[in-house]
Amino acid sequence: MFQQTISEKVSCTGVGLHSGAPTQLTLHPARSNTGIVFVRTDLGEPVEIPAHSAEVASTALATTLGRGAATVGTVEHLLAAVYGLGIDNVRIEIDGPELPVMDGSSAPFVYLIRSAGIFQQREPREMLRIGRKIEVTDGLRRISIEPAPEFRVSYAVDFDHPGIGRQELYVPSLTPEHFEREISAARTFGFLREVNAMWDAGFARGGSLDNTVLLDDEKVVNQGGLRWTDEFVRHKILDLCGDLALLGRTVCGHVRAERGGHEMHQRLVAKILATPDAWTIGEVNRRRYGDLIRRAAQVARA
């Protein structure tokens, strides 16, 4: 019901998945209505880049935000943790062009936020409530969002690979508790046959078996195997949460995705923002907030 930030500053270090460059990341508490803001601190004068759809510079293998020449890459795993735990306001300082990949999931960032503590602020949270279906299609790929009383996800992936195949997952209520327990630890994944091409294109230079689920032509090659048998679709839901964070508000609606990915996620975000007659802002929260005040007043009178 109310906006949230973190209670204190917290930091971590690591290497970027694609750049391979070491970076330090620091999360700071932020005032109500600040939103999520990335700050590049290594460019002389700090450059602020709001976590918003308008700042998306690329969706090639990751979500990259940019303002002018300053960019911040692979933001989705941290944004998923922020969105999944219900953090509305935070200032994210980074001294390089890409966030650290950590173990390839959101779990280390969830731990970081939990270590800092979550602080409830006084301003009510404004939710984006979907009023009618919005859909994006591209051949066999499609993604939509439709009215629902809470945030729900139905996601399907379909890979022509014996180690993945078709995986489907329905989450009827993606609460912070469910995100932390069932989604946050799902890791990014890649294919051995694509590694050389990715290196030649300047990607995956920081990738390793410590931060990526890697598949050869038949199976997962990581010694520890998978964390869930359907870890692949769980990671896609994780990515979706990170990409939806770029709406700037928590979403109340049911997302259905078939063979999605960062590009499709961002196309849905862009279409939502371009269809303002299909949603309302804050209506549910204002009603609940008013009900709470009325109940409190009734208790006080009694």
Indicate whether 77 and 131 sit together in one domain.
no
pLDDT per position in the chain (302 positions), as tens? 899 999 999 999 999 998 889 999 999 999 999 999 999 999 989 999 999 999 999 998 889 999 999 999 999 999 999 999 999 999 999 999 999 999 999 999 999 999 999 999 999 999 999 999 999 999 999 999 999 999 999 999 999 999 999 999 999 999 999 999 999 999 999 999 988 888 887 777 888 999 999 999 999 999 999 999 999 999 999 999 999 999 999 999 999 999 999 999 999 999 999 999 999 997 434 444 344 334 433 433 43
Give the residue numbers spanning the domain of 271.
127-283
| Contact between residue 208 and residue 183 where contact means Cβ atoms under 8 Å apart | no
H or E stretch covering 197: helix 195-200
Indicate whether 145 and 54 sit together in one domain.
no
CATH number at residue 119: 3.30.230.20
The β-bridge partners of 7 are none
Phi, psi of 275 (to 5 degrees): -125, 65
Indicate whether 165 and 229 sit together in one domain.
yes
3-state secondary structure of 70: strand
How many structural domains comprise the chain? Answer: 2
pLDDT of residue 285: 40
Known catalytic residues are 262
Residue the block writes with tokens 């990915």: 261
CATH number at residue 160: 3.30.1700.10
Indicate whether 84 and 163 sit together in one domain.
no
Q: Which stretches does DSSP call E strand in the chain? A: 2-6, 10-15, 22-29, 36-40, 47-50, 56-58, 64-67, 70-72, 90-94, 118-124, 127-130, 134-138, 141-146, 152-159, 165-171, 189-191, 213-215, 250-252, 254-258, 279-281
